[in-house]
Amino acid sequence: MNSRRILSLAVLLFAIVVSGPTFAQNKNILRIRFETAVIKAGTTDIILKVFYKLEAPKPVSFRGFDCRFVYENLKIQPVTTFFDGTACQFADFAHGSFKSPDAYYVQVLSSAMLDTVNKELFEIRYSIKGFADSAMIEPTLFTPVDDDGKRIDTVIIENAPGRDNVGWYPFALMYADTTKPPPPPVKKSIVLSSDSTDIHSDSIRTISLNVSSLDSANVKSGIFEFELDTAAFDSVAVMKGALLTSGILSLSRDSTHIVAKFSNADTSKSFASAGELLKILLRGKKLTDTVCSAIVNPKLTVLNADNLVSSVTYKLQGICVFGHKDTVITGFVGSEEEAGSLTASPNPAHSFIDFHMPDHLGNQHLVVFDALGKKVYDAAFDEDFRWNVASIPAGLYTATVIDFSALQTGAKAYKQKILIIH
């Protein structure tokens, strides 16, 4: 007898174990998931979605719901509920409402089944007041609207599972972004330079336009433009420098304005290192006097917006075109042989230049111009004269000497140009 009872009990337990999962599998389950977000500093508004998934092994209806939650009202504030484009868009009634002080209701009712193909249930726009850690919400109710015989047996909120039909644990809807932003990229200054040089009248000279290191400057393409001084040069041409050997160079010219556009063959790659960017070929004019000029109004523009160039410094030295006759005599009275000469030494000079006058010369006036025509020195003297050039930048200069005493007496007067290089 006892053996029969034990056997019956074992059979019953086996039946319960076997049928248990089947019973659970026969439940209609509605799973709800609130979209969460990481909020960057300064964000004031955000729209977050609520999704659902209906697991229905038996007939089910889902015609609406009553969803309620409380929130941290010092940190966030639900503002608007959106239904367009969601599973609730054709519902007869769909509304989101604020209940003071910290509750929000989303209620939907439809005479027909909600769009179960669309897995987005609704959206809520939140105003963000600010928080340093997170902003929590706690669902207090989610009651589906269904029909007799087609019930939803269980509602699971996946953000806070474990308390079906009783309530749900609070969870963080939003998190403050605590990642440190990367430091801003360091920009660098670059230098364009060329050496001082001279060109003989009616001849050609190549000028190298060099650039300082472009490492980390992220220069991918650019334009170099300048003006041609037609008083000194007949023509100009621009060619690729060593840095542009495999790059692309295109030129345009409007009267005396020259524009050279350059880039790497692969425009996504930036230039690196220092070196010769461009070669500028200049043809000196056919002159009888010496004319000093330069690459006038130089301008480098980096075209790619993500470049890291903070500034461009131009160190372009002067260029002098030597005429076939270096001294120009302008006679007023007397003969040219009476003029004598004026010497300057040492030339080139490093710290000073001595000017020596012939005995017959009187009151002299010295004016010195740099290669761009800017006056850098102006003095009157009537005897041998020393000019301290230690503080004058290295380059090509032109000194003009005029005998003003001769002009006043009506005697021989002349103007002599002296080329000063240091």
* DSSP-assigned letters across all residues of 394-415: SSEEEEEEEEHHHHHHTS---E
Residue ranges of the chain assigned to CATH 2.60.40.680: 27-176, 195-322
Pick the CATH number of 195-322 from 3.40.190.10, 3.40.50.720, 2.60.40.680, 1.25.40.10: 2.60.40.680
The DSSP bridge pattern shows strands 197-200 and 275-284 to be unpaired
Per-residue pLDDT reduced to its tens digit, 155-176: 999 998 666 556 688 999 999 9
Please name which of 420, 422, 417, 421 lies closest in space to residue 341, comparing C-alpha atoms.
417
Is 252 buried (19+), middle (13-18) or exposed (0-12) by CB count in 10 A? exposed
Q: What is the pLDDT of residue 367?
A: 75
Q: What's the pLDDT at 227? A: 93
Single-letter amino acid code for the residue at 350? H
Comparing CA positions, the residue from 196, 200, 267, 190 lying closest to residue 224 is 190
* Domain 27-176 listed as CATH 2.60.40.680: yes
Give 221's contacts (C-beta < 8 A, 6+ positions apart): 261, 262, 263, 264, 267, 302, 303, 304
**Integer Cα distance of 195 and 210 in angstroms:** 9
Nearest to 215 by CA among 186, 183, 241: 186
Q: What is the DSSP secondary-structure string of 86-125?
A: STTTT-SEEEEEEETTTEEEEEEE-SS---TT--EEEEEE
Q: What is the 3-state secondary structure (H, E, C) of 213-255?
A: CCCCCCCCEEEEEEECCCCCEEEEEEEECHHHCCCEEEEEEEC
pLDDT for the residue numbered 336: 33
Residue range(s) of every CATH 2.60.40.3080 domain in the chain: 336-421
d(CA 82, CA 143): 19
Other C-beta atoms lying within 10 Å of the C-beta of residue 258 = 19
Q: Which residues pair with 82 in a beta bridge?
A: 123
CA dihedral 6, 7, 9, 14 (to 10 degrees): 140
Q: Closest Cα partner for 397 from 419, 364, 382, 379?
A: 419
Q: 336-421: what fold?
A: Immunoglobulin-like (2.60.40)
- Specify the length of the chain in residues: 422
Strand runs (DSSP E) across 257-323, as ranges?
Answer: 257-263, 275-284, 291-293, 296-302, 309-316, 319-322
**Residue-level pLDDT at 361:** 60
Spatial contact of 370 and 318, defined as CB atoms under 8 Å apart:
yes
Q: Report the alpha-carbon angle 67-68-70, nearest 5.
A: 150
Q: In whole angstroms, what is the distance from residue 52 CA to residue 63 CA? A: 13
DSSP label at residue 343:
E
Q: What is the pLDDT of residue 15?
A: 47
Q: Write the CA distances from 230 to 119, 283, 285, 321, 392, integer angstroms.
A: 74, 10, 8, 12, 27
Q: Are 65 and 114 in contact (CB under 8 A)?
A: no
Q: What is the mean pLDDT of each run of 10 residues along the chain (422 residues)?
A: 48 46 71 96 94 94 96 96 96 95 96 94 96 94 91 91 69 92 89 88 90 94 94 90 92 90 90 93 86 89 93 90 56 34 71 74 71 75 79 74 55 52 52
- pTM, 2 dp: 0.45
